[in-house]
Amino acid sequence: MGKKILGWGALALLTACATGPQRVEREPLPALAWADDSHATQLLVLNRVSFGPNPASLKEIESLGTGAYLARQLRPAAEPRLPAEVQATIDSMTISKRSVVDLASELAQRQQALRGLSFEEAKIQRQAYQQELTRLARESQARMLLRALYSPDQLQEEMTWFWMNHFSVFQNKANVRVLVGDYEERAIRPHALGRFGDLLTAVAHHPAMLVYLDNARNSAGRLNENYARELMELHTLGVKGGYNQADVQELARVLTGFSVREGEFQFYPRRHDFGPKTLLGRPIRSSGERELAEALDLLASHPSTSRFVSRKLAMHFVSDDPPEALVERMARAFRASEGDIALTLRAMFESPEFRASLGGKFKDPLHYMVSAVRFAANGAVIPREDVDRMINALAGMGQPLYGRPTPDGYPLTRTEWTSPGQLATRFEVARGVGYRRVGRLSDELPVPLSDTTRQTLSKASDPKEWNLLLLSSPEFMSR
């Protein structure tokens, strides 16, 4: 309403140099306003805010009540609460034992060493180099899936995935495969339910994003607008959010010199354009490295950002085409809380639109796959080979983790996941999961089975076929 755009000041600056994956423990929230604690509704809530109900999450929501459960999900404990066996698997990974700087430097040295080798020898070494990059990326993928499968803090994992998708990087570009695990662990996950400005800042200082969108090569006089453009179009304001080509260029100039050195963020003052700049009609007052903090603060606190981000959250959690009134309410909560993601989500969870929408979203391949395994495993920890099968199945269904080539991230709407080939593959996955179970799965799904589905199930010739049909049912596709 013609209101002056007020930045949120120093918050972005404070976190610009944060390095550790530690999340700051924040004050717990009071229970959300939620009257209905019926079993049926709790199942639907778990089905929407988590990667699908399992025995542990059901027990938790039953004992806490829905409102307190959601409050706890919004402010998870700083320490991970994974089952010991799963935590041990993650701890044994190379990406847990060695720092990204260490790994990236070693791989860079291996690249350097290729120069002295014969053609044949270099070919072998290049192959080994590529294999190592792929192995590290697969560790990151396995870690992500293990957390989605077993973390009691489901919303934390859900939001980590959401932001990884919002700030999407493509692992097959350059050496992003060695960077992507660290990107998720240190830039995204700690802020997944924190402040949007902190998240934006952490992303802008991570090598994975700087390499993926070519900002690592953006320097004074040789401008690369790639990241600057996506930062406004896809990450903050949205394509019609009120910027123009001149703003893209100005932001690209702000971003000059923000680069990467062997797996680490590095600002190169000599590559930075120190000239005066105006972004979105406002002069940038600071100079050098601090310009970015000022620009990001301006973007994070812009009203367009509050609406763009709220709308995307609502698309993921409510409906492919969320009601404008809901988006506006969330955007207000976003602005009032200076971009507190948890409080924005709370406004959404407490809305009648959210309640009314439960069960009505179509699962993308990731949510389908993970919820099917959570349901079928019934709390049991699956072996690493099965996690690898999941990684492959996701690629087969067209949604490989960190595998979106374009910076727009995977779509959140059903039409993109319902191509004939994708559905046929999904039923193959249903068979893969269903046939590994010895007994018959429970027919109590969050979305109650229709008569048609029940009639079809009654034709199953054995428990395995029953499982296949149940996991292939329209009800199981819904969240």
Partner 1 sequence: MKRRAFLLLPLALSTVSTARLFAAPSTSSRFLLVFLRGGYDAANVLIPHSSDYYYQVRPNIAVPRDAVLKLDSDWALHPALRESLYALWLRGEAAFVPFAGSHDLSRSHFESQDTLELGQPLGGGRGYDSGFMGRLAAALGASRAIAFTNNMPLAFRGPTPEGAKPVANIALGGAGLRPAAVDSRQSALISEMYRDSKLGSPVSEGFAMRESVMRDLGSEMEAAGRNAINARGFELEARRIAKLMQGEYNLGFVDVGGWDTHVGEGGQTGQLATRLEELGRGLSALAQGMGSAWRDTVVVVVSEFGRTFRENGNRGTDHGHGSVYWVLGGSLKGQRVVGEQVRVSQGTLFQDRDYPVLNEYRELLAGVFARVYGLDGAQLARVFPSVSPKDVALL
CB of 119 to partner 1, least distance (A): 5
Work out whether strand 278-279 and strand 258-261 pair parallel, antiparallel, or are unpaired.
unpaired
CB of 114 to partner 1, least distance (A): 8
Determine the distance from the C-alpha atom of residue 124 to the mean position of all C-alpha atoms in its chain, rounded to a whole number: 35
Q: What are phi and psi of 350, to 5 degrees?
A: -80, 0
Q: What is the CA radius of gyration of the chain?
A: 23
* Residue with smaller CB distance to partner 1, 22 or 452: 452
Q: Where are the beta strands (DSSP E) in 11-50?
A: none
* Residue with smaller CB distance to partner 1, 408 or 444: 408
Q: Which residues contact 252 (CB under 8 A, 6 or more apart)?
A: 218, 223, 224, 225, 227, 228, 229
| Interaction residues for partner 1, span 193-232 (CB under 8 A) | 214, 226
From 18-26, 178-186, 291-299, 462-470, span contacting partner 1 (CB under 8 A): 462-470
* Residue with smaller CB distance to partner 1, 8 or 129: 129
CA gap 268, 199 in Å, rounded: 22
* Residue with smaller CB distance to partner 1, 45 or 260: 260
CA gap 107, 124 in Å, rounded: 15
* Residue with smaller CB distance to partner 1, 131 or 452: 452
CA angle 294, 267, 408 (to 5 degrees): 65
CB of 105 to partner 1, least distance (A): 21
CB of 225 to partner 1, least distance (A): 10
CB of 288 to partner 1, least distance (A): 28
Q: Choose among 116, 60, 127, 65: nearest CA to 379.
A: 60
Q: Where are the beta strands (DSSP E) in 52-187?
A: none
When binding is defined by CB under 8 A, the residue of 96, 105, 134, 456 that contacts partner 1 is 456
Q: How many CB atoms lie within 10 A of CB 251?
A: 26
CA angle 191, 13, 260 (to 5 degrees): 80
* Residue with smaller CB distance to partner 1, 212 or 334: 212
First to last CA, the chain: 36
Q: Which residues contact 106 (CB under 8 A, 6 or more apart)?
A: none
Residue 179, helix vs strand vs coil: helix
Q: Is 431 in the site for partner 1 (CB under 8 A)?
A: yes
CA gap 214, 219 in Å, rounded: 11
Q: Is 423 in the site for partner 1 (CB under 8 A)?
A: yes
CB of 131 to partner 1, least distance (A): 16
CB of 364 to partner 1, least distance (A): 13
When binding is defined by CB under 8 A, the residue of 19, 94, 130, 418 that contacts partner 1 is 418
Q: Is 472 in the site for partner 1 (CB under 8 A)?
A: yes
Q: Is 473 in the site for partner 1 (CB under 8 A)?
A: yes
CA gap 35, 70 in Å, rounded: 12
CA angle 403, 406, 412 (to 5 degrees): 80
Using CB under 8 A as the criterion, what x/- string covers residues 359-398 for binding partner 1? Answer: ------------------------------------xxxx
Q: Choose among 289, 296, 295: nearest CA to 273.
A: 289
When binding is defined by CB under 8 A, the residue of 129, 267, 268, 427 that contacts partner 1 is 427
* Residue with smaller CB distance to partner 1, 89 or 399: 399
Report which residue type is found at 400: P
Q: Is 453 in the site for partner 1 (CB under 8 A)?
A: yes
* Residue with smaller CB distance to partner 1, 334 or 362: 362
Work out whether strand 278-279 and strand 282-283 pair parallel, antiparallel, or are unpaired.
antiparallel
* Residue with smaller CB distance to partner 1, 310 or 453: 453
| Interaction residues for partner 1, span 104-163 (CB under 8 A) | 119, 122-123
Q: Is 428 in the site for partner 1 (CB under 8 A)?
A: yes
Q: Is 465 in the site for partner 1 (CB under 8 A)?
A: yes
CA gap 250, 273 in Å, rounded: 10
Q: Is 239 in the site for partner 1 (CB under 8 A)?
A: yes
Which conformational region is residue 82 in: left (phi greater than 0), alpha (psi within -120 to 50 degrees), or beta?
Answer: beta
Q: How many CB atoms lie within 10 A of CB 224?
A: 17
Question: How many residues make contact with partner 1 (CB under 8 A)?
Answer: 42
Using CB under 8 A as the criterion, what x/- string covers residues 164-183 for binding partner 1? Answer: ------x--x----------
| Interaction residues for partner 1, span 301-360 (CB under 8 A) | none
Q: Is 424 in the site for partner 1 (CB under 8 A)?
A: yes
* Residue with smaller CB distance to partner 1, 286 or 406: 406
Q: Where are the beta strands (DSSP E) in 244-318?
A: 258-261, 264-267, 278-279, 282-283
* Residue with smaller CB distance to partner 1, 187 or 232: 232
* Residue with smaller CB distance to partner 1, 13 or 122: 122
When binding is defined by CB under 8 A, the residue of 275, 281, 283, 420 that contacts partner 1 is 420
Residue ranges binding partner 1 (CB under 8 A): 119, 122-123, 170, 173, 214, 226, 239, 395-398, 405-406, 408, 415-416, 418-424, 427-428, 430-432, 435, 452-453, 456, 459-460, 465, 468-469, 472-474, 477
